[in-house]
């Protein structure tokens, strides 16, 4: 190995050239050259940022690109480390409504101004679409082997079948079935009496109780891991409602797999991390889920053909209409097993992941505020109450009676608390591919809100990616005052002309928007209120020690968040 003094280095470089120097002293020269390249990259990207930043008077301009150190990598590392913090810093350093990042070979334009977001939602598919991103996601997250991309027609027909979820017939069927199931099961969210020991023969625990690791106390209270308890309890009712009871009955580990998959899905999309323990668990869970979905589909397809399904799938009469239509659509379009099963697993995940986690966070937010809890209980008491005729569930506990219409139309505080929960606890990114050059124009009021001299327009070039930074907007104090506080009244508007109080999502876009807006949103709103209200009426929830229920830290960003660690709570039954 050769070491040089600077004068020697200069004369050697002059006589032998750079290649010779790298070959002779790689341990020194490679880091030196790397540092030089980084410095040059940082300087050039900084100059470029200043040039675009100085276009304060331009009516149409190029968004500022955030400077970076390492060519090709760009801002990838800071995105991987802290996506929301990175975007918030970029936003604050420019003061504009859009900022641009280089990540690997791609340019990303991140949008976080309400008027620009509305324009993004209004674009046609020919300008902005999600197809390529969705195909990539189906491959890395669900291992579809590019079936979504290669079986284009079949995928789109299957996807279209989900539009049924937007129709009144589906919404009525799904909410009615959910409400009836909740009425009879919320009293058994955790069981206790009549059996003294949970595992007494013939009286096994409910699967969600096992997932929540319940422990019965002598005074009749029950301790549980609240996150696991809630997401599994809701999952049981909603999966039974969509796919019929046989799916979970034949695959008792289905929910464990679903939540293991969810815990590791971040690791799968950043494929480097797929080798982590959570990533490996997610991969194993995903293959069991895919197999279960394929078997379920084959049984349903057999019934639809008039054939006899396997013995364990004889009773498929309780499958929802939307899932029956999906099966028929897959069959009519000669869909491969790979496309069918991976897409059905993605729907299974989508149906559960957002609603169930939001109910968990929402309950904690409400139970940790005694005044809000009591106001909401008063607001909903007319619509969610213990069965007036004294009906009991299978375990002998009180049943509830739920008036879904009354709950959803006349209870603004619980609905506004749901929106505020989504604002606080969700952090989704909406990603679109830019197919044609696009101009986005700031509104005058948004420009003023961001402290700009005048509204500007931005040119977003074809071939780049556009990102809606919902999580960052949800925490922007200019859009949502005091964003770190849970304000249960935030989304409540004044009374309208008809005298009714309105609840309005305003600049909150947790269901997405435009052509890709969540197809399950009408059901989801009602479902969340049904689950949350019924638990608030039937149960008191508090900490194991002390008075204050402390909310756990949130896990990784990216749509709905899980808690960083589960939270152990004590549940007390309010009605026997």
CA diameter of the chain: 100
Sign for the pseudo-dihedral over CA of 90, 95, 97, 98: negative
Letters for 517-556 (x = contact with ligand HEM by CB under 6 A, - = none) are xxxx--xx--xx----------------------------
By CB under 6 A, residue 343 contacts ligand HEM = no
Identify the residue among 108, 226, 313, 511 touching ligand HEM (CB under 6 A).
511
Q: Which residues pair with 224 in a beta bridge?
A: 569
| CA–CA separation, 435 and 279 (whole Å) | 33
9 versus 518: smaller Cβ distance to ligand HEM: 518
Of all residues in the shown chain, the one whose CB is closest to ligand HEM is 520
Q: What is the CA radius of gyration of the chain?
A: 27
By CB under 6 A, what part of segment 419-448 binds ligand HEM? 422, 428, 430
Give 222 or 473: the residue with its C-beta nearer to ligand HEM.
473
CB of 368 to ligand HEM, least distance (A): 20
- 371-409 burial, b at 16+ Cβ within 10 Å, e below that, comes to ebbebbbebbeebbebbeeeeebebebbbbebebeebbe
Q: Which stretch binds ligand HEM (CB under 6 A): 272-280, 362-370, 488-496, 509-517?
A: 509-517
Q: Which is nearer to ligand HEM, 214 or 347 (CB)?
A: 347
Q: How far is the CB of 144 from ligand HEM (least distance, A)?
A: 15
- In the bound complex, what is the minimum distance in angstroms from residue 527's beta carbon to ligand HEM? 6
CB of 175 to ligand HEM, least distance (A): 10
Q: Choose, by CB under 6 A, the member of 510, 530, 531, 570 that binds ligand HEM.
A: 510
| Full 3-state SS string of 417-429 | HHHHHHHHHECCE
Tell me the two tokens of residue 238: 């909603």
| Residue 491 engages ligand HEM in binding (rule: CB under 6 A) | no
Q: Is 408 a known ligand-binding residue? A: no
Angle between helices 321-332 and 277-305 (to 10 degrees): 80
Cα angle at 432 between 426 and 438, to 5 degrees? 125
236 in contact with ligand HEM (CB under 6 A): no
Among 127, 355, 488, 534, binds ligand HEM (CB under 6 A): 355
Q: How far is the CB of 217 from ligand HEM (least distance, A)?
A: 33
- Which of 483, 512, 542, 543 binds ligand HEM (CB under 6 A)? It is 512
Q: How far is the CB of 347 from ligand HEM (least distance, A)?
A: 6
Q: Which CB, 162 or 229, lies closer to ligand HEM? A: 162
Element housing 469 (H / E): strand 465-469
Q: How far is the CB of 511 from ligand HEM (least distance, A)?
A: 5
Q: What is the 3-state secondary structure (H, E, C) of 155-206?
A: HHHHHHHHHHHHCHHHHHHHHHHHHHHHHHHHHHCCCECECCCCCCCCCCCC
| 151 and 376 Cβ atoms separated by less than 8 Å | no
Among residues 178 and 206, whose Cβ is nearest to ligand HEM?
178
Rounded to a whole number of angstroms, the minimum distance from the CB of residue 510 to ligand HEM is: 5
Residues 98-137 contacting ligand HEM, CB under 6 A: 130
Note whether 557 binds ligand HEM by CB under 6 A: no
Give me the DSSP letters along 313-378.
G---TT--HHHHHHHHHHHHTT--HHHHHHHHHHHHHHHHHHHHHHHHHHHHHHHT-HHHHHHHHH
**β-bridge pairing 60-61 and 457-460:** parallel
Query: Using CB under 6 A, which of 459, 516, 543, 558 touches ligand HEM?
Result: 516
Site for ligand HEM in 141-170 (CB under 6 A): 162, 165
Residue numbers 356-415 binding ligand HEM by CB under 6 A: 358
User: Do residues 326 and 344 make contact, with C-beta atoms less than 8 angstroms apart?
Assistant: yes
Coil, strand or helix: which one is 98?
strand
**Piece in contact with ligand HEM (CB under 6 A), picked from 31-39, 213-221, 261-269, 352-360:** 352-360
Query: What is residue 555's DSSP assignment?
Result: -
Q: Give kind and range of the element (H or E) at residue 386.
A: strand 384-386
Judged by beta carbon, residue 158 or residue 309, the one nearer ligand HEM is: 158
Q: In the structure encoding, which two tokens stand for residue 354, read together? A: 């957002």
Among residues 299, 332, 304, 300, the alpha carbon closest in space to that of 156 is found at 332
Should residue 264 be labelled a site residue for ligand HEM when binding is judged by CB under 6 A?
A: no
Closest of 402, 374, 393, 373 to residue 527, by C-alpha:
402
Q: Is the Cβ of residue 68 or residue 261 nearer to ligand HEM in the bound state?
A: 261
Tell how strand 222-225 and strand 215-216 pair up. Answer: antiparallel
Which positions make up the binding site? 518
- Contacting positions for ligand HEM (CB under 6 A): 130, 162, 165, 350-351, 354-355, 358, 422, 428, 430, 510-512, 516-520, 523-524, 527-528
Which positions make up the binding site for heme? 518
């Amino acid at each position: 190995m050769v070491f040089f003094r600077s004068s020697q280095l200069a004369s050697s470089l002059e006589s032998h050239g750079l290649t010779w120097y790298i070959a002779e002293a790689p341990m020194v020269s490679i880091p030196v050259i790397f540092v030089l390249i980084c410095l040059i990259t940082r300087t050039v990207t900084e100059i470029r940022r200043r040039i675009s930043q100085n276009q304060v008077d331009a009516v149409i301009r190029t968004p500022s690109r955030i400077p970076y150190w390492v060519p090709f990598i760009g801002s990838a590392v800071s995105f991987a480390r802290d996506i929301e913090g990175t975007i918030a810093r970029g936003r604050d350093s420019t003061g504009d409504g859009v900022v641009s990042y280089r990540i690997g070979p791609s340019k990303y334009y991140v949008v976080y101004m309400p008027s620009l977001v509305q324009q993004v939602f209004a674009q046609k598919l020919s300008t902005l679409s999600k197809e390529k991103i969705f195909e990539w996601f189906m491959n890395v997250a669900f291992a579809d082997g590019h079936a979504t991309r290669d079986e284009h027609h079949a995928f789109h027909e299957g996807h279209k079948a989900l539009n049924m979820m937007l129709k009144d017939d589906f919404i009525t069927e799904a909410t009615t079935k959910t409400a009836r199931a909740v009425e009879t099961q919320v009293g058994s969210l955790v069981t206790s009496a009549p059996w003294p020991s949970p595992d007494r023969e013939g009286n096994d625990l409910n699967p969600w109780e096992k997932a929540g690791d319940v422990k019965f106390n002598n005074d009749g209270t029950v301790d549980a891991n609240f996150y696991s308890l809630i997401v599994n309890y809701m999952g049981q009712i909603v999966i039974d409602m969509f796919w019929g009871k046989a799916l979970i009955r034949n695959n008792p580990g289905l929910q464990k797999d679903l939540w293991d998959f969810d815990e590791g899905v971040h690791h799968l999309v950043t494929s480097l991390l797929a080798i982590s323990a959570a990533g490996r668990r997610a991969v194993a869970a995903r293959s069991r889920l895919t197999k279960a979905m394929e078997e379920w589909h084959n049984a349903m397809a057999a019934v639809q053909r008039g054939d006899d399904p396997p013995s364990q799938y004889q009773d498929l009469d309780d499958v929802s209409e939307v899932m029956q239509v999906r099966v028929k659509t897959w069959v009519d379009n000669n869909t491969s097993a790979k496309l069918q099963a991976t897409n059905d697993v993605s729907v299974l995940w989508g149906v559960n992941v957002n609603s169930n986690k939001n109910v968990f966070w929402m309950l904690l937010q409400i139970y940790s505020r005694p005044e809000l809890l009591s106001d909401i209980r008063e607001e909903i008491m007319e619509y969610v109450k213990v069965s007036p005729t004294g009906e009991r569930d299978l375990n002998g506990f009180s049943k509830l009676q739920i008036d879904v219409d009354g709950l959803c139309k006349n209870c603004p505080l619980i609905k506004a608390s749901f929106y505020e929960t989504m604002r606080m606890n969700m952090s989704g990114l909406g990603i679109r591919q830019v197919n044609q050059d696009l101009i986005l124009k700031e509104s005058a009021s948004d420009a003023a809100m961001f402290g700009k001299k005048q509204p500007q327009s931005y040119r977003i070039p074809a071939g780049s990616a556009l990102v809606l930074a919902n999580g960052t907007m949800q925490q922007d104090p200019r859009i949502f005052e005091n964003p770190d506080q849970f304000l249960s009244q935030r989304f409540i508007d004044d009374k309208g002309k008809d005298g009714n109080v309105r609840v309005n999502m305003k600049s909150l876009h947790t269901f997405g928007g435009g052509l890709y807006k969540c197809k399950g949103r009408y059901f989801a709103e009602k479902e969340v209120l049904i689950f949350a209200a019924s638990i608030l009426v039937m149960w008191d929830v508090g900490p194991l020690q002390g008075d204050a229920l402390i909310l756990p830290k949130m896990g990784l960003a990216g749509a709905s968040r899980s808690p960083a660690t589960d939270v152990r709570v004590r549940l007390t039954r309010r009605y026997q």
